[in-house]
Amino acid sequence: MESLTLSDVEQKYYSELFLSCDVDNTKKVASNGKVLDLFRAAQLSNEVVHQITELCGATRLGHFGRSQFYIALKLIALAQSGLPLRVESLNSVRDLPLPRFVMGKNEQETRHAVMFADTENQGPYFPRPPGRVQAKKVSAHEMIQPCVPTVDPQPDTTSPVVSPHQSPPTSPHAWRKHKRQASGGNVDRQPSVPGVVWPPFREAQPGPVTGDGMWSAHSPPPVQESWVSFTDTPPSSTLPMHPPSAQVITTVRTVPSAMTTNEIQRQISGYDDPWKITDEQRQYYINQFKTIQADLTGLIPGSAAKEFFTKSKLPILELSHIWELSDFDKDGALTLDEFCAAFHLVVARKNGYDLPEKLPESLMPKLIDLDDSAVPEPATEVDFSASPVEVTPNKSPSMPSLNQNWSELNQSNEQWETFSERSSSSQTLTQFDSNIAPADPDTAIVHPVPIRMTPSKIHMQEMELKRTGSDHTHPTSPLMANPPELSDETKLAATIKFPGTTVGDGYSSSDSFTSDQEPISSAVNRQRSHSGTSPEGLKVVAPPPPPPRPHASHSRSSSLDMNRNFAAVPAGPQQPGVVAFPPAVPPRPLPTQTSVPHGHRSVEGDGLPAHTSTSPHQMPEQPNFADFSQFQAFAVDQPADDGENTSDKTTGTMKTAKNDIQSEERNATTVNSAKVSTPLAPPPKPVRRRLKSEDELRPDVEDLPQKSNVIATVLATQPSIPRSIGKDKKAIQASIRRNKETNTVLARLNNVIECDHRISLEVQLEQLRPFSHL
Amino acid sequence: MFHYTVHTSLDVVEEKISGVGKALADQRELYLGLLYPTEDYKVYGYVTNSKVKFVIVVDSSNTSLRDNEIRSMFRKLHNSFTDVMCNPFYNPGDPIQSKAFDSIVSTMMVQAC
């Protein structure tokens, strides 16, 4: 045999082919069978084939030895390039392209199947995308180079190229069909894409045989290899040949999951932009996206993406970097675009490309998905759902570079960031201050309470006077409404009628009262307004000077409750039960009021309405707020309620309510008149009580004349409890006492709260002091 | 050599955040003053809501740094840190190897000088 000098590439190629033919591993290839198929695949006429066979000496030997085989291959190459078959030319011809073999579809498919099956074992190889050979382009021949899965010992460094038509059942390599570049001039080395080592490639490139070996084309071989492994579409074989410079990048995706080890490797020809995603690739990515997240407009959470990309067996650091690049909005999740970009980067990395420092423009989000339609080839070819990418070199249309978006985003981000920086700095400093001194009107109102305490009886009387003089200016006359509630629907509330409805009104009116510190007058007013606010108001009415509750704040909140509570509002126990009363109160207060100790009534009656109105919790509307008598009764009851939760409350509350109201109002701020069982008189009281130690309010009430006592007792006890009308003064006084106590407690609390902040600041100062003179 | 400084400053930070019980995101200034007569540097601390502490050590000879600047530096650090955290591949506790993060930090340092 003539000596044959082969270039490295040829060497590799030939050896691969030989191995592929050498199924039996006998190092001899029979002339029949695969060899012939191979030769025929070279698309040479039979004559030529025969001639070649003769030339190489196979006929002599009857079989193809390795050398013969090589010679034959070389001759084929010669023939394909149109050169005469001459033995002499074997060595003389330089730059002979590798012989090309065209595979028939069937074979391809078969091989394909084999490949698939074979690629199960990943080993060092990556599952190869089932590439189908595509119909070649006019001049392109598909070179089928099954990658011998390195399993076979490769004699040379280059793993022998398996002959195309050999579908090595055992060889776990994937067949790769590469499309040869149209320019046949160069040896097209198909980069070994699929995980399987690409023998030639391996040689040519330092492609590591490791898992990453796939992409041996680290430095894209100078020769353009544009080959794409397609999962073919039989019908249209658009062989996208890349223009010369194209570097095919096979995207290797090792996704053991659905892809079953078949990963697509796409090759991107990125001669002008290595990062462009071709349509096929994009389609593939989209399909992958769907496996994780069915909704294409949805997001893939970080954990899912992490799992997915971890399968690619890239080092975590690189994956982390890829993530950083691709998670554009930094939300910890990947949109479709982000996912495609990430996938693309993974593929590129697998193929040996270094990761960029910044996201390439073509990968920026908003890459289009539109172009998918451009590629006719569906993903069908991809058996493993990984559609081999057909390099469409020129196309990269899909990616409209989104520079502008990026830059815009960048700018906007920066601006945004600067804004945040700027603004936040001041915020932190000021936040503190706002926390100081919650201006609690209630608390503020509470303060006045003490003032009222002193006059006590005098106040009461004054209140009464005022009350008498006052008219139901307060529409809501919470007192009116409250009493009913307080008195447990009968006593006090008569006027309160509107326990529920009037609450609002009561509040408003009560508000005005709240400010009214005067026990009596305020009580009167309060009672009126209380109708809406709280039953306490009613109760308070009785005691003229129910602490001018900070109706403003409280009343509102409590008014509603107050209305309901009407009956039991005393500061102490919240008036849960009171609430119930208001509704039915209206009619009752009258009788109750009347029953109320008249002594009180005169004052209380007026006072109650006033109280109620004033008490913050008073029911908003006390239509009958004018009906002070009711309140009185109510107020009376209320104080009594403190100790007694009886139905009498309503009546008793009337009176006590007055007192209570007053006292409550005093403590109004503190008391949450939520319940406000006594809409009128009670409201104030209960409100106050609610706030804090409502009982303390009662003491305030005590100052009031007996009415206050009554109210206090009524209110103090429990908001919801309808005080028994018949509370005696003792009870009322007790309630008043309690209210007062509550008041003082609340006042103290107020101070404490206010001081608290100062203290904390001081503490901080102390802490810092040591460092000041280090 | 700054490790020691940083570690000691951690104690102070802990003390501050535990004592006051206020918003954890306080940006406190931790001024160590002169540990050594020759050495004069300031240490600033910053704690996030998740008790992640940032410490900046600044040379006192660099007097041009104002408090606001320090605050903005912390803010940037915090933002970058959250970006790093968002990366599912990052395990909290690992040294941060994010290039973006490093670049931001480097930029900041350059600016500070």
The whole-number average pLDDT for the span A593-607 is 44
Cβ atoms A734, A643 nearer than 8 A: yes
Single out the residue of A533, A526, A553, A562 nearest to residue A659, CA to CA: A526
- Let me know if residue B1 belongs to a domain: yes
pLDDT tens for A457-480 read 555 555 555 555 444 444 444 444
Numbered residues of chain B with Cβ closer than 8 Å to any chain A Cβ: 15-16, 19-20, 22-23, 25-27, 30-34, 68, 71-72, 75-76, 79, 82-83, 86-90, 97-100
What pLDDT does residue A743 have? 92
* CA of A432 vs chain B CAs: smallest distance (Å): 10
- Let me know if residue B37 belongs to a domain: yes
* CA of A759 vs chain B CAs: smallest distance (Å): 11
Q: How many domains does chain B have?
A: 1
Q: Which of A742 and A172 is assigned the larger pLDDT?
A: A742
What pLDDT does residue A367 have? 46
Looking at every residue in chain A, the average pLDDT score rounds to 54
pLDDT tens for A388-401 read 444 333 443 444 44
The whole-number average pLDDT for the span A297-309 is 84
- Distance from C-alpha of B59 to C-alpha of B28, rounded to nearest angstrom: 17
- Within 8 A of A317 by CB-CB distance, chain B residues are 97
Report the residue from A306, A317, A764 with minimal CB separation from B88. A306
Cβ atoms A663, A699 nearer than 8 A: yes
Cβ–Cβ below 8 Å for B71 and A425: yes
Cβ–Cβ below 8 Å for B33 and A774: yes
Is A307's pLDDT higher than 80? Answer: yes
Is A364's pLDDT higher than 60? Answer: yes
Single out the residue of A681, A632, A446, A645 nearest to residue A554, CA to CA: A446
* Phi and psi based region of residue A401 (left: phi greater than 0; alpha: psi -120 to 50; beta: remaining): beta
- Within 8 A of B44 by CB-CB distance, chain A residues are none
Mean pLDDT of successive 10-residue stretches along chain B, which has 113 residues = 77 69 46 44 75 76 70 83 83 80 86 74
Cβ–Cβ below 8 Å for B86 and A302: yes
pLDDT tier for residue A740 given thresholds of 50, 70 and 90:
very high
Give buried/exposed letters for A527-553 (b at 16+ CB in 10 A, else e).
bbbbbbbbbbbbbbbbbbbbbbbbbbb
How far is CA B57 from each of CA A505, B40, B42, B54, B70, rounded to the nearest angstrom? 62, 10, 6, 10, 10
pLDDT tier for residue A126 given thresholds of 50, 70 and 90:
very low
pLDDT tens for A194-211 read 433 333 333 333 333 343
- Within 8 A of A305 by CB-CB distance, chain B residues are 88
Helix/strand/coil for A316: helix
What pLDDT does residue A514 have? 42
CA-nearest residue of chain B to A765? B20
Is A764's pLDDT higher than 80? Answer: yes
pLDDT tens for A746-757 read 999 888 888 888
Cβ–Cβ below 8 Å for A764 and B31: no
Cβ–Cβ below 8 Å for A774 and B87: no
Cβ–Cβ below 8 Å for B86 and A424: no
Least confident of A176-190, A339-353, A695-709: A176-190
CA-nearest residue of chain B to A769? B31
What pLDDT does residue A465 have? 58
What pLDDT does residue B56 have? 78
pLDDT tens for A494-549 read 444 444 444 444 444 444 444 444 444 444 444 444 444 444 444 444 556 655 55
- What percent of chain A shows pLDDT beyond 90? 2
Report the residue from B30, B68, B100 with minimal CB separation from A425. B68
Is A53's pLDDT higher than 50? Answer: yes
* CA of A421 vs chain B CAs: smallest distance (Å): 6
> Which of A273-277, A383-387, A708-712 is modeled with the greatest confidence?
A273-277
What's the angle, vertex CA A178, arms to CA A173 and CA A184, rounded to 5? Answer: 140
Helix/strand/coil for A587: coil
Q: Which of A340 and A154 is assigned the larger pLDDT?
A: A340
- Let me know if residue B50 belongs to a domain: yes
Helix/strand/coil for A636: helix
* Number of separate helices (H) and strands (E) present in chain A: 31, 9
- Within 8 A of B86 by CB-CB distance, chain A residues are 302, 327, 330-332
Single out the residue of A618, A629, A611, A546 nearest to residue A582, CA to CA: A618
Cβ–Cβ below 8 Å for A420 and B75: yes
Tokens standing for A730?
């003792």
What pLDDT does residue B8 have? 78
The whole-number average pLDDT for the span A664-680 is 43
Cβ–Cβ below 8 Å for A424 and B32: no
A766 touches chain B (CB under 8 A): no
CA-nearest residue of chain B to A315? B89
User: Structure pTM?
Assistant: 0.31
B67: Cβ–Cβ under 8 A, 6 or more apart, which residues?
Answer: B29
The whole-number average pLDDT for the span A426-431 is 45
- Distance from C-alpha of A598 to C-alpha of A612, rounded to nearest angstrom: 18
Report the residue from B30, B82, B87 with minimal CB separation from A324. B87
Q: Tell me how crowded residue A329 is: count the other CB atoms within 10 A of its CB.
A: 14
Cβ–Cβ below 8 Å for B87 and A317: no
Is A406's pLDDT higher than 60? Answer: no
Domains of chain A with bracketed CATH: 8-89 (1.10.238.10), 275-351 (1.10.238.10)
Cβ–Cβ below 8 Å for A324 and B75: no
- Distance from C-alpha of A256 to C-alpha of A129, rounded to nearest angstrom: 12
pLDDT tens for A601-629 read 444 444 444 444 444 444 444 444 454 55
pLDDT tens for A204-234 read 333 333 434 343 334 443 333 333 333 333 3
- Let me know if residue B113 belongs to a domain: no
Domain region containing B52: 1-108
Cβ–Cβ below 8 Å for A320 and B87: yes
- Within 8 A of A421 by CB-CB distance, chain B residues are 72, 75-76
Q: Tell me how crowded residue A713 is: count the other CB atoms within 10 A of its CB.
A: 48
- Residue B50: CATH number of its domain: 3.30.450.70
A413 touches chain B (CB under 8 A): no
Cβ–Cβ below 8 Å for B72 and A425: yes
Cβ atoms A673, A684 nearer than 8 A: yes
* CA of B30 vs chain A CAs: smallest distance (Å): 8
Least confident of A369-383, A693-707, A740-754: A369-383
Tokens standing for A692?
């804090």
Cβ–Cβ below 8 Å for B34 and A774: yes
- Distance from C-alpha of A316 to C-alpha of A300, rounded to nearest angstrom: 19
Q: SS3 for A244-301, per residue?
A: CCCECCCCCCCCCCCCCCCCCCCCCCCCCCCCCCCHHHHHHHHHHHHHHCCCCCCCEE
Cβ atoms A679, A563 nearer than 8 A: yes
pLDDT tier for residue A96 given thresholds of 50, 70 and 90:
low
Q: Tell me how crowded residue A374 is: count the other CB atoms within 10 A of its CB.
A: 15
- Distance from C-alpha of A733 to C-alpha of A656, rounded to nearest angstrom: 9
A424 touches chain B (CB under 8 A): yes
A235: Cβ–Cβ under 8 A, 6 or more apart, which residues?
Answer: none
- Within 8 A of B83 by CB-CB distance, chain A residues are 324, 330
The whole-number average pLDDT for the span A329-349 is 83
C-beta contacts of A104-110 below 8 A and 24+ residues apart = A104/A41, A105/A132, A105/A133, A105/A232, A105/A234, A107/A37, A107/A164, A107/A165, A107/A167, A108/A132, A108/A133, A108/A144, A108/A175, A108/A177, A108/A232, A110/A167
What pLDDT does residue A59 have? 62
- What percent of chain A shows pLDDT beyond 70? 24
CA-nearest residue of chain B to A759? B20
